[in-house]
Amino acid sequence: MAFGLLATACSGAPVPRNKADDPRFPSPDRPIAKIVSPRWSTEEARDRLREADKVMDLARIAPGMTVADIGAGEGYYTIRLASRVGAKGRVLAEDIVPEVRDKLAQRVTRERLDNVSVRLGEADDPELPENSFDRVLMVHMYHEIEQPYKFLWNLRPSLKANGAVVVVDANRSTQDHGTPPALLTCEFAAVGYKRIELRAMPSAGGYIALFRPEGPRPAPEAIKPCRTAAGAQPG
């Protein structure tokens, strides 16, 4: 995988917008939280709770792995993932806000993290290379994805065999910057992912869930949206 081709130089590029609406994909039946901050707590407070260590342990992230940090923000996980995967591993950190991406790129350069690449992503497509990642992390950001079914559909090919998506979020409504686990599981299942782990995780502000692709990727037109009024059941 050519991570060098993914690294993006700091620039004044405009905020990425969703590509033209794709009518093949359903819209989510729930509010979308607005992006309000690249952080949800201080790094010192999170480290006192050993947040990142616990998440990486439960996600079974090991030296030599290739990991994507989607919605990386100021890089709390990016920095710690770089240490965990080591010199033989790789971390791709991605954010959709140019200013946030630029600050993270500067931090990666300042801390001389040679195994980390930073790039600007798209709101509905992470645009990751196929068959490249052992783990994809989405920490306290899933509820901000405007087109979750399209995003998850585009994400699937990037996972290696036995690769997994790791979601950390709060167990509350999406409009309150969380995602109820039943809704999260339903939306992933609609795109052909199987939940393989779900654990409460107060130290990370809620819970951790792991998903793995199962079976063929459904056609966009076959995806049934989850109905929150029906207890997060497919509509």
- pLDDT of 230 > 60? The answer is no
Structure tokens given for 111: 């801390």
End-to-end CA distance of the chain: 38
pTM of the model: 0.87
Q: Over the stretch 115-125, which tens digit does the pLDDT of each residue have?
A: 999 999 999 99
Between 235 and 95, residue with greater pLDDT:
95
Q: Over the stretch 34-49, which tens digit does the pLDDT of each residue have?
A: 876 555 568 998 889 8
- Strand positions, DSSP E, the chain: 66-70, 90-95, 116-120, 133-139, 159-169, 193-201, 206-213, 226-227, 233-234
**Backbone torsions φ then ψ of 73, nearest 5 degrees:** 60, -130
